[in-house]
Structure 1
Amino acid sequence: MNSDDMIIKFTKALELLQEPLEKLLEEYHPDCLVAAMFFPWATDAAAKFDIPRLVFHGTSFLSLCASEHMRIFNPYKNVSSDSVGFVLPNLPHPLKFKKNTDS
């Protein structure tokens, strides 16, 4: 998607899947619903039929933690140049990065 407008339209279109999903849940009575994180309304649909819902997230937990720590701690702001390395703080093992990944 090449524009914010398209992303908004796509997200709204995904919401149109809730009603067909609820019809399937009502008809088949599954033991569990596994739905991607991009379908937050699936939680309500599963709850409506008292079905547990698991969230599928295609990104690894390590990358989620690293992204969140980059956002919270901004360790790259303390380096003197793009080629100087920095360690991502508050993780069990040191993860070293450089602002400029070409070097």
Structure 2
Amino acid sequence: MASLSNSNNDKLHFVLFPLMAPGHMIPVVDFGRLLAERGMIVTIVTTPHNAGRIEKSIARAVESGQDIRLVPIQFPCKEVGLQEGCENIDMLTSMEEYLQFFKATNLMEEAVMKLFEKLTPRPNCIISDMCFHYTSKLATKFQVPRIAFHVFCCFAVLSRHNILSSNILDTISSDSEYFTVPNMPVKVEYTRAQLPLLKIKQQSKKCVGMEI
């Protein structure tokens, strides 16, 4: 693992928080490498298991002269009832585990706050997955800008926002019943069965107070 200290205080320092899921980690790591290629300092914060998944990629970047660091933070599996080492969405087997997982991601807040105080040079920007709501408090405390990372296109984000904010899923009695998404510029229809992850996120929001 790379050191947290660096004497190149004239470089901008970006701290990245990818959600522990392949579809989120891969683009965030790629984005971090692009920043590092352009002379930025990049710190990627993740859990030990996920650090192992991307460590070779980061090592190759460091060997090529990029200033990119990989910092693991312990994931609180036991605190939420998950098995030890269950640190990525692709390791989950049930909706209950999804809810436990998202709760655990935001129990990392205290450890990340302590880490942030030790990072040198002082971070200039946070790029955080949308699921890590505590990073907005982190940005406020340390007075740095925060960019929320979405893996979805604008159409999907708007559809999801309108479905969740309208609570229309609560009015649907059957998983096979089609409903029209409110407040869209064109008619868009889904069934509840087509939106299993949205149902999980709706319950996750109620469980841990996530902004979705």
Report the TM-score range of the alignment, normalised by the length of the smaller protein. 0.5 to 0.7
Task: Report the AA paired with residue 158 of structure 2.
Answer: C
Match in the other structure for 1:74: 168
SS, match of residue 92 in structure 1: coil
Match in the other structure for 1:96: 189
Q: Deviations over 1:29-63 (max 9, x none)?
A: 33322122333332333333332111223344433
- Aligned CA-pair RMSD: 3.5
1:37 corresponds, among 130, 149, 153, to 130
Task: Report the AA paired with residue 168 of structure 2.
Answer: N
Change (3 A) 1:46 1:65: same
Which has the bigger relative contact order, CA under 8 A and spacing at least 6? Answer: 2
Change (3 A) 1:76 1:44: closer
- In the alignment, the residues of structure 2 paired with residue 17 and residue 6 of structure 1 have an alpha-carbon distance, to the nearest angstrom, of 17
TM-score normalised over the length of structure 1? 0.59
**Sequence identity percentage:** 21
Match in the other structure for 2:13: none
SS, match of residue 21 in structure 1: helix
Change (3 A) 1:23 1:60: farther
1:63 aligns with 2:156: yes
> Which piece of structure 1 moves more, 68-77 or 90-99?
68-77
1:23 aligns with 2:23: no
Query: Which of the pair has more CA radius of gyration?
Result: 1
1:28 to partner: Cα distance: 1.4
